[in-house]
Amino acid sequence: MKQPKSKTKATNADQAEAPMVADELVEEWTLERAKAELDIIQRPFSAPDDKRRAVIVKASALGFSGTCDLYFPGLTGRQNLFLREWLCNGNQGANAYRFAFDVTDDRDNHAIALAASHMLRSNAIQDAIKLVRAEVAKTVACDLEEHLRELMVLRDMAKSRGDIKAAIAAEVARGKAAGHYIERIKNVDDEGQKKLPPPTADEFAAIAAAVAKEC
């Protein structure tokens, strides 16, 4: 056990979680499979650097910091690749699946989409997404009083300095991500209309990505 652990540390010095995960994989599977999994998760993101940084920042509380790649100990190497790409590339499941499983030929796109959807619905992936969503919510959270106060300041700035649509849009996005607009829609729905459901995982990720660009 000592020899594999030492080798893992040498190749993953900047990933504090990797040695611990490597030991678990060696015990649960085989040394060869552990090496293969660790090699898989060290592939670079295909997403642009700005999206990569945004996701890393948003998930920093999960144990990742600096330029280390996102890694979820509860997922296999390919599941990690799939989730990283899904988070970074606008929730494109089929593209994430192709990247994670090295699908480069012209296979049936429908079959790829079904496989990606199946993977995305797995309990392990959903648990990891919930963790990311929780950390994103903490990052962009703002209470209603602060939100209204900031909008008031932006309104005054708009009157005195001219158009600041981008700033207002960013603040509105923060309010949406925090759920304020959804709650207000629910509160005024007093005519028996069907209430709007909370954001889906895709919708939440899209809002979070928009907010990340403004942060």
Residue 10 burial (C-beta neighbours within 10 Å; 0-12, 13-18, 19+): exposed
Instruction: Extract the tokens encoding 22.
Output: 């490597």
C-beta separation of 99 from 119 below 8 A: no
pLDDT tens, 163-172? Answer: 667 667 666 7
How confident is the model at residue 142, as a pLDDT? 55
Of 170, 171, 166, whose CA–CA distance to 150 is shortest?
171
**Chain position carrying tokens 């499941």:** 93
How confident is the model at residue 20, as a pLDDT? 34
With a cut of 50, which residues of the chain have pLDDT below it? 1-30, 47-68, 183-189, 195, 215
Q: Would you kindly state where each structural domain of the chain is located, as residue ranges? A: 13-140, 144-214
What is the pTM (predicted TM-score) of this model? Answer: 0.42
What Rg do the C-alpha atoms of the chain give, in angstroms?
21
Of 167, 165, 171, whose CA–CA distance to 148 is shortest?
171
Cα(19)–Cα(4) distance, rounded to whole angstroms? 9
- Three-state secondary structure call for residue 77: helix
What is the Cβ-side half-sphere exposure of residue 205, based on CA atoms within 13 angstroms? 21
